[in-house]
Amino acid sequence: MSPDNPSPTPPPDEFPSDGPRGLMARFRNYFLTGLIVTGPVAITLYLTWWFVTWVDGLVRPFVPSAYRPETYLPFGVPGSGLVVAVIALTLLGFLTANLIGRTLVDLGERLLGRIPAVRAIYRGLKQVFETLFSGNGSSFRRVGLVEFPSPGMWSIVLISQSPSANIAASLPGQEEHISVFLPCSPNPTTGFFFYVPKSKIIEVEMSTEDAATLIMSAGVVQPGAGDAKSMAALAGVANAARIANSASTLQPKPAPAKVE
């Protein structure tokens, strides 16, 4: 090559990538790929193991040693307490379904109802369990959007039931209110409970499982993200509701009559 026409220097991206920077990039990509693959599996197995161990620790003291697998085996059997708990709860439900079991349950409820400190706790927990685990109830099976914590900001809520008569009478205005629960991210077991007018709730075509996934991932995992039309329609409904709410609050009030 003549000195008058030297060879052009290749741009930085044309250099071979087998240097230290290329090796570190490959190492990072492989590490992140392995983390993505094993992370959910490891956390799922850990939570499952923790739950099984927790149930075993609660149930095993009530099981006689003659019926424990570790009595006859040189090692313990994880999950034996969980199996006993499932069988015992199923048997208890079967016995409660007949007349004798129902009578015993009513007797126990009357005894608990006479203890002032325990009565309120028991009644509240019983109503919560009947609402959540009953197949006929509709609480927390619908998902909605409310404008919270400020105008223009929308939060996902789980729709519950209408307030009782005495609470509804104390709420301002004539519009019907609905109780909702707003889970916090990333722990959906904590959040805010409040009453909101029914017209302020935008019901969303989303299951509670998808809503929990969206909240726990802080928006990283978008259920149904492949359906762009439904997401666009949801955004349009939320924007229309915001415009309608702002228009109702910004309507000019009639000027007072001039007194001469």
Q: What is the pLDDT of residues 80-92, one digit of tens each?
A: 888 888 898 888 8
Q: Provide the pLDDT for residue 22.
A: 80
Given a cut of 70, whether residue 189 has pLDDT beyond it is: yes
- Write out the two tokens for 66: 């003659």
Given a cut of 80, whether residue 234 has pLDDT beyond it is: no
Residue at 65 is within a domain? no
Rounded distance between C-alpha atoms, residue 155 and residue 150, angstroms: 10
Q: Encode 189-234 in three state secondary structure.
A: CCEEEEEEEHHHCEEECCCHHHHHHHHHCCCCCCCCCCCHHHHHHH
Residue at 169 is within a domain? yes
Q: Provide the pLDDT for residue 236.
A: 59
Given a cut of 70, whether residue 123 has pLDDT beyond it is: yes
7-39 burial, b for 16+ CB within 10 Å, e for fewer?
A: eeeeeeeeeeeeeeeeeeeeeeeeeeeeeeeee
Domains of the chain: total: 1
Residue at 102 is within a domain? no
Residue at 257 is within a domain? no
Given a cut of 70, whether residue 256 has pLDDT beyond it is: no
Residue at 7 is within a domain? no
Residue at 164 is within a domain? yes
Q: What is the pLDDT of residues 147-187, one digit of tens each?
A: 888 888 888 898 888 888 888 888 887 888 888 888 888 77
Strands 191-197 and 142-147: unpaired
- pLDDT confidence band for 134 (50 / 70 / 90): low
Given a cut of 50, whether residue 15 has pLDDT beyond it is: no
Given a cut of 50, whether residue 193 has pLDDT beyond it is: yes
Least Cα distance to 146 among 88, 188, 194 occurs for 194
Instruction: List % helix, strand, coil for the chain (3-state, nearest 5).
Output: 55, 10, 35
Residue at 180 is within a domain? yes
Rounded distance between C-alpha atoms, residue 30 and residue 16, angstroms: 20
Rounded distance between C-alpha atoms, residue 204 and residue 69, angstroms: 49
- Write out the two tokens for 141: 């099976």
Q: What is the pLDDT of residues 17-60, one digit of tens each?
A: 455 678 888 888 888 888 888 988 898 899 899 998 998 888 88
Which domain range does residue 153 map to? 142-249
DSSP for 120-167, please give it.
HHHHHHHHHHHHHH-SS--TTSEEEEEE-SSTT-EEEEEE--PPPHHH
Residue at 98 is within a domain? no
Q: What is the pLDDT of residues 206-227, one digit of tens each?
A: 888 888 888 888 777 777 654 4
Q: Provide the pLDDT for residue 65.
A: 82
- Write out the two tokens for 83: 């199996």
Give the Cβ contact number of residue 256 at 10 Å.
6
Rounded distance between C-alpha atoms, residue 23 and residue 18, angstroms: 6
